[in-house]
Structure 1
Amino acid sequence: MITRGHLIGQIIDEFVAVGEQAKLRSSLTLNDLPVYCENFFRDVINITEGWNLVNLNEKRQNEPGLDLSDEAKKVAVQVTNTRTSEKINHTLQKITEDQAKKHKRFIVFVIGGRQKTYDAVNSELAEKYSFDIAEDIWDTHTIAKKAVSLPIERLQSLHELVRKEMARVKVELQIPNEDGEYATSGYTQWEPILKPKAGSGNHFNDWLIADRITPADPQHLQASLALFASQLAALPRITREFLVMLYERCDPDRNGRFRTCPALVLPKVQRTYLGDDLQGELDILVDAGLVALALPEDESDRDSPAEIGLIVPGKCPELKSDFHRYVVEKGLSFRTVVGGLDLSGF
């Protein structure tokens, strides 16, 4: 059972990490904050306080002095990476007459941690807006302290938010190197598209002839190999590996719902596959035309179980019916051919 202490500990650890990252940005005078970060801390504060802050910058670019507002609670928040007294003064100076009418409390939330003292804060401005230096300058430590006394439901909501979103917040706060490149790039979050190898079909036809089988039409065979290779390359790697396991565990001689291709009993796959998204993998493969599902049509058909058929695409019937047997008899590996996209042995 996950305890309150465990949840609070993880929340504090993440806040400490992002606070240090924010301090580093500030030391390099990188004080701008992405709207994503503003929205993250908006949601954090809403959970801890029970408020309904909205991001003013989503309605109006760079709302003067303020970022977040809950007019019903009459509270407004400036989210910043700068912790100086000058920043506090600047925020208070930018408050408009309209904002002052709508809000009774103004808070400055410093991501990187507040200073120990704020002696240089303009006392007249602070008094004008009832701004309490001790109570109205927040940071991640403030939120961590509030988390300790939250009801368990709200604590769990805060933990879930931090768990799901903090990685993105850290990415948004990353500092580019001297070449303007970031340690984490959206371009690197995608699997590379691999280039498959497709054979000419000559080896496959030679094997058919040696087995006293009429060879395949060379044009259809080569086109089918190229199509098969390209469709395999378009799959996510994990899905290709799932398909490999289907080939390795299939029954090529099964006389079930499929007559011309290897097949597996679907209930058996459901019991032996230990991943968490069997249906997702099958959906991708069905959409790619690389497997087909044969399900019982009615109650009278229940004696024959649902099956997964392994399909080789294209217009070459010889490749469709003998792909599996060729790989096995030639001593090739499905992990190389299907998983590694290497059909050069054909």
Structure 2
Amino acid sequence: MITRGYLIGEIVDNLTAVRADVEQRARLGLTDLNKFSEDFFKFILNKTYGYDLRSLNADRSNEPGLDLGDRKQRVAFQVTSRANKEKIETTYAKITDEQRQQYDDIRFFVVGWKQNSVSLDESLREAVGFDLKTTVVDLNDLLMAIVPLEIDQLREVYDYVSKETVRIRAELEVPDEDGRYKTTLADKLEKRQSPQISDCVRFQGPHSEVLGKTATEVRADIETMSRHLQRLPRLTREFLAYMVERAEENDGDEGWRINADKLQRLTAGHGGTDGDIRILREDGYIWLTDPEDETGAVYWRINLRSNIDYLDNILGSYVEQGHTTWQKIIVSIDFSDL
């Protein structure tokens, strides 16, 4: 089970890495933050503090003024890489009369460290109610507020940060002298697994009577199975292998089965398997049965999309005898042991 400590540790590590990227840009004189950065922290601020912040500058990037606002709670933020005297005074100077009427609490969220002191003009400080401790929120303040969140809120923040950190760090990258970026989309996309298939003689020989097929025909069927498996994301193949490994029986043409409620309990700590189930269901690997009796038990039926009767059963026996593993067959698409 994923613990609070694990979730918090991952959030801290990811957000600290984002801060390091922002600081690196600042050292190079690049202090702008784009709209994606604002949206990234908008979600986290909302989940952490219970705001309903909305973007105030959908058509603008890093101009002084307010970036995020919650009309109901009358709080607004400027999201920035720095909150020095110049930045704060410029921001206040650009706030419109309309915005002043809409928001009582105007803050700065710094993707970095707040300064120990900011020497604003005293009249401005009094006019806007500036208090360094509360008006400027830095990443440390945010992380300290994240730690005591309820577990459901904490998981939401963890899921979002885990999913979006790669993208925001890519957005913050600085190009080299030729205008090329270190991270490209191709680097992050999953590579297609190349199947490995034997001549299937060793596998087919002892089962030729049951299969009623030659080794060549068995190999051709496994090639087709491999092409289908290639289309699945790797994590979905891992989920399919898990379902087969935990299946309760294999009864011929119906394939394996696993109790749907039991599967849900077994995978509760996974962080979400609905997407894998949709993919496998759409691709014909699994289907849901009607309740079998008055107990209301519902089962997922599973097959590997073979066109040869009983091939799934015999593969199962082959695995049970220790000749290969489901991880190797389904996840690595490696049938070289057959």
> TM range, normalised to the smaller chain?
0.5 to 0.7
Where 1:57 maps in the other structure, the secondary structure is coil
- 8 Å CA contact 2:288–2:300 kept in 1: the answer is yes
2:26 aligned residue: 26
- 8 Å CA contact 1:85–1:118 kept in 2: the answer is yes
- Out of 229, 233, 251, the residue aligned to residue 230 of structure 2 is 233
- 8 Å CA contact 1:83–1:112 kept in 2: the answer is no
- 8 Å CA contact 1:80–1:109 kept in 2: the answer is yes
Where 2:79 maps in the other structure, the secondary structure is strand
Amino acid at match of 1:231: H
Please, which moves more after superposition, 325-334 or 64-73?
325-334
1:181 aligned residue: 182
1:77 aligned residue: 77
- Seen in structure 2, the aligned counterparts of structure 1 residues 297 and 56 have a Cα distance that, compared at 3 Å, is same
Runs of 5+ consecutive residues of structure 1 not aligned to the other structure = 1-5
**Partners of 2:239 and 2:51 in 1: CA distance:** 46
1:289 aligned residue: 284
Q: Name the % identity.
A: 24
- 8 Å CA contact 2:113–2:140 kept in 1: the answer is no
- 8 Å CA contact 1:110–1:138 kept in 2: the answer is yes
**Partners of 2:247 and 2:131 in 1: CA distance:** 70
Say how many residue pairs are matched. 323
1:3-152 to structure 2, matched below 5 A, reads 19=19, 21-42=21-42, 52-58=52-58, 60-62=59-61, 65-71=65-71, 75-103=75-103, 106-119=106-119, 121=120, 126=124, 130=128, 132=130, 134=132, 137-140=135-138, 143=141, 147=145
**Partners of 2:213 and 2:321 in 1: CA distance:** 17
- 8 Å CA contact 2:260–2:299 kept in 1: the answer is no
Runs of 5+ consecutive residues of structure 2 not aligned to the other structure = 1-5
- 8 Å CA contact 1:241–1:335 kept in 2: the answer is yes
Amino acid at match of 1:340: S
**Partners of 1:241 and 1:12 in 2: CA distance:** 28
Q: Deviations over 1:54-113 (max 9, x none)?
A: 22013x424652212344555543221123322223223323344445455543333322
- Seen in structure 2, the aligned counterparts of structure 1 residues 251 and 262 have a Cα distance that, compared at 3 Å, is farther
TM-score by length of 2: 0.65
**Partners of 1:145 and 1:66 in 2: CA distance:** 22
Where 2:57 maps in the other structure, the secondary structure is helix
Greater Rg by CA: 1
- Seen in structure 2, the aligned counterparts of structure 1 residues 133 and 23 have a Cα distance that, compared at 3 Å, is farther
Amino acid at match of 1:139: V
Where 1:230 maps in the other structure, the secondary structure is helix
- Seen in structure 2, the aligned counterparts of structure 1 residues 10 and 131 have a Cα distance that, compared at 3 Å, is farther
Q: CA RMSD in A?
A: 5.3
Amino acid at match of 1:233: Q
1:224 aligned residue: 221
- 8 Å CA contact 1:110–1:137 kept in 2: the answer is no
**Partners of 1:127 and 1:294 in 2: CA distance:** 68
**Partners of 1:163 and 1:213 in 2: CA distance:** 49
